[in-house]
Structure 1
Amino acid sequence: MSTPTPCWLCARPLGHKVEWHHPVPKSRGGRETVPLHPICHRTLHAHFTNAELQRIGADHAKLRDKPELSRFLAWIADKPPEFHAPTRTRRR
């Protein structure tokens, strides 16, 4: 039996719903895509602009160190792969 592919952001196994994220946004020339849970994908875009995502690039360790994401990752860690909740947006 093969090991399920983990989410690029939270490293939990992926469920039935998978979204593909460009670590460097397509609008900024990004071509690579990585698999994410829908809640992880929405959280990334709720907290970071495309310019910020471009600067961070594919270094998910840098993203995980950001305070707003580290709190989210600690909260989501024990949730099942299909877990969904409304995504909070940051105040800009």
Structure 2
Amino acid sequence: MSFEDSDKAKGYWNENLKLVIKLLVIWAFVSFGCGILLVDILNEFSFMGFKLGFWFAQQGSIYVFLILIFVYVKKSNTLDKKYGVDE
């Protein structure tokens, strides 16, 4: 990957870092927040026969993580095209 100048490289990595941080915050909220901190509140609801807090702790955070991977790939490809470093 080569950039025309260092300003474009810095802009690219700044946007990429912001994207990664946003996605990690979402994942942390779902896995830690919904699976541990908010489990008592979420357990008042059912999802597919399981308490919702339990479901987030066991399955939900994994599904969200997989979705976030696909979101990162799509956003990263868009970012690469924006800065002219796509394949």
Q: Same fold (TM over 0.5)?
A: no
Select the structure of larger CA radius of gyration.
Answer: 2
When you count helix as a share of all residues, which structure comes out higher?
Answer: 2
TM-score normalised by structure 1 residue count: 0.30
TM-score normalised by structure 2 residue count: 0.31
